[in-house]
Structure 1
Amino acid sequence: FDAFAATFPDRKIPLAPQFLDFTGTSKASLGTIRKAITQDRVAEFNANEARASAFSARLAEPNSYLGGLTKSGPGTLRLTGHSTYRGDTVINDGLLIVDGSITSKVIVNKPGRLG
């Protein structure tokens, strides 16, 4: 299951189905890429303490992705385009900006924000 194809500044990130960890990275390089396929196909991007201001990723086959999206941490995440994943969108902290549309149910928990 190849869920993600991503770019990070000018570098190609190898296809990593479930987990990209940017915690404590230096010079905007990748810390670890770990494949952790679970029954619910949870996809997690961990950018806590990353030294890069932004990265982008896209779901390669969004219509076949049954999982949802959970936004945690005080930062900002921007979704663009038509997001068709089937699970719930949960915002626990920080700001989730939607520049496009989301077809799933959205749950906002304090101090999370939707913009």
Structure 2
Amino acid sequence: MAVHLHRPGYDHARKLVEEQHVVLDERDDWSEHQPSAAEENAFIEEHGYAEYGRWHLGVDDEQNPETKGHYKFPYGDFADIHRCAVLSAESRAAQRDYTDIENAAAHLHGMLEALRTLRS
């Protein structure tokens, strides 16, 4: 699999954190907070795959860009970046040795932790 960092997704995530469009949730919350397949499909129908891709840190070049399978490591709910999703992406990228995605997620994690500190 040719999975690597999706720069538009990473840039979008950084901007969301800078603008404080964040949910500072707990590590294991992603299974409850992630968009459902129906929500993903509705988002794609309304905004297209390029915009859908901006909500992912990775892409798989072996998959068609006009499919969900092309996009990997989601980090938000189409409104906010979720700390739990970033932590999940960081962990899964490390397990699969996708260093560029792991490093991007770690950077986002650090940005989110700084916000958490400011808010407490």
> TM-score with structure 2 length normalisation?
0.25
1 or 2 for the larger relative contact order (CA 8 Å, sep ≥6)? 2
> TM-score with structure 1 length normalisation?
0.26
Quick check: which one's strand share is greater? 1
Quick check: which one's helix share is greater? 2
